[in-house]
Chain A
């Protein structure tokens, strides 16, 4: 995983707000029509039989099974953890999901529920930093993060300050990500590893242009993100195939430039297996097999899991079952 400090080759571009701005605005532009056309072409790939079986299982194993509602209760979270640990009770060969994604106050509940349900290998991801709007003082965001880490979160999904980004204050966004990264560190001897992994959410729907999404990607990667994530799932436009393709190009180029590999997480709006397979095709043909693992690619989703399970059952039995043959969480 990447280190917290900026890649040394880029120390000068992050030295000041002006330098950062010059660098981000010097990145190659994105032609929207061309990007969308490429995503649409990849979307026509036909994934059948053995390839489909592989991709369905891979997609299940990449899910950050998510509940982020005001109405979340310990009961709801426990039920989600049980689902993630054992997605298809009729078929024990079904892989477990990658993580359970909750609000910070549910992180400890999730951690305990997973341990109790044979889901110890499943990560707990907690959103933080005044998710989803990010409109809070930095001190509150950092406290939010530290609480979540202390409650046992293995991964932190932070939101960037879109207001600062759109106002051109890239230095502020950069420093905030660095500070949150610092807050992800665990006190020595507590929990696994020295820090929770940091996913940085851009809220692409609010950044609005592809050029902004490319800039945000580089900004977050330079600031030490372990993952870059499309969206909160709380606005009108969330993950799309083109914006995920664009972010994959960014992590590909970042690794070529620095040697550091960063993960990508599309979130929000990916509801069925067909869509998930399209994303995996885009991963496969943009960055290749190095990213085809839950360590490097995740789906932020809730209803997606059941469609993947139904498609998996169909592939194994030759028959469609129906929503009553998969469990609700």
Chain B
């Protein structure tokens, strides 16, 4: 017998009450029953003991044997009773948690193409039809979608089913109307796509349905086919049994079951294929006990959710709710007659009537089901005939959500583990509203597919180039997309979270931000000259610049945007490791920061996810918002259990971050990431930083627009060189998806508390807009340079790191 959880959960308050009430009632009755048994067992013994002719066999061993037998019988029933009640009350509701993507918000003016909306609608499980009349269908004519939405319970409200019309024009939503009232709709949510379930170890899957939401034709048809006397019998149906026995005898083998629905339910509780008399005997007794404790509708509902209806690889398909999705890719309430009949047909033997391997057998049985339903007047003969003429309509490949977005699901599970136990996630039927944006995730996956293959081939890396991407919403820290392997469906090592690699120059903004906090400004002159530092073990370290040159006296901003190593180390040494470690921690980095000079050039191991946390603070104006994957969690009955709201904590002043953002924006115009200008639309302003580690082993790019932050890492698992710099690798992949998603430019507005000047970034002097080599930079009041520069030609741009 498979060991199963006997946890009791509460799908609805009503259920729980009735279940507990029954449980206590059951306890009493069981007690009574065993008491009754004992007395009845004693009575004949007493009689014989006081009888005139005391039989010797009853006086001696016989009596003992009899008593012993009665006790064994009582114990047997008690054992069955406990077991069956545990199964019924516990396992019946062991539901995996359902994970949803973010719901798509639709409103007039929203940027969205016809293709994008089409994809979202399909992801949400809508069926294309010519005219959208029934729930869960949609039509598309030209640029106009018509659909009938499903009622849906969100954490904040219950939304009813509506008939809607959505018009798209030139890549944005032009109008949304309610087709019934003709009224315009200001805002609506498309029900979120289910992107995953969290299964218990034994891979049983189900989708709970309540009796009242199951189509009547299904329950009546099921009873007609499997157990006509269901509402009359007490768990066993002797007449059906006799009929089956007669049929078996005539055929000379087992051809007919004769089991009641209750017996079938018991059999499903303890799945075993053995067909022994002893098992039959046990099942019959448990069926009687079940009927004694619970009413018919409870048993029927449990049956509908428990019955085994197919196998999808390792996953067992239990219950009509899940079977409906598995075979027809649709919720049970939306099934048509022919599909309902098919599911009823499958009850008899999901593998013998396998829908995909033996469609002819199943079709024959389905039509038999239809004709019996017609005979029993559940449907009309005409309905039966017309349904019987139609094909099975089983979807070729079920919309298999298992294994989608493994990297994101991994991160989400880790975050949920802080608040929930594993058993709660796999048994309580929780509904988890995640932050994943499937449209953005798709763009990231496609961009990775394109660039990883291309770069891998270019560099002759023989398939060893690996990648990780973290993409988040800068305003609230929601993780919208995550990639942990070049194959987005690979569920193993999650590089986004677990590949801790040297970050190289990505660390430099922390050094320069520390400098700004210590009174430097963007035009402060710093020295980019050779230096040698002594390590604790007397080793010597002489950092070099990527271009092999030293640049002498340079403005602070130039050292950052051109990623000069010598200037950075000199600056960092003057600020002290403590100050820089403090800045890193305030940015959101949790790891301990080593206090040695190479740390200043990124000899700090961080995962792409850690780097995202750090840049998130820069992207959000100096406000720290932890990265989140879950918005809220609902109980199975729709009660809101927990929200994970946006939280903010100011870690840096708006002025310091504004200076940093301007500098990082300059990186994408005249610095190491200037190749972005060719790869992105001209008006999409970005702030970002490239990162490259020793011998070109890691290629990083971290960059943000006005609404999205993305960190991309490329490297090899064996840590061998790639031959790719940050700009030559990660940046290309980054630009590929960023130009495809709907993102806003980095806003470049002027803070009233700062002064803005055109500065020549080669010498740090005042200049003018129309001169070469100039940047428009903010300064704290009174700190802008006063010396004016000549209009000069642009400087060397040969470094690309």
Indicate, yes or no, whether A interacts with B: no
Interface, chain B (partner A; CB < 8 A): none
Interface, chain A (partner B; CB < 8 A): none
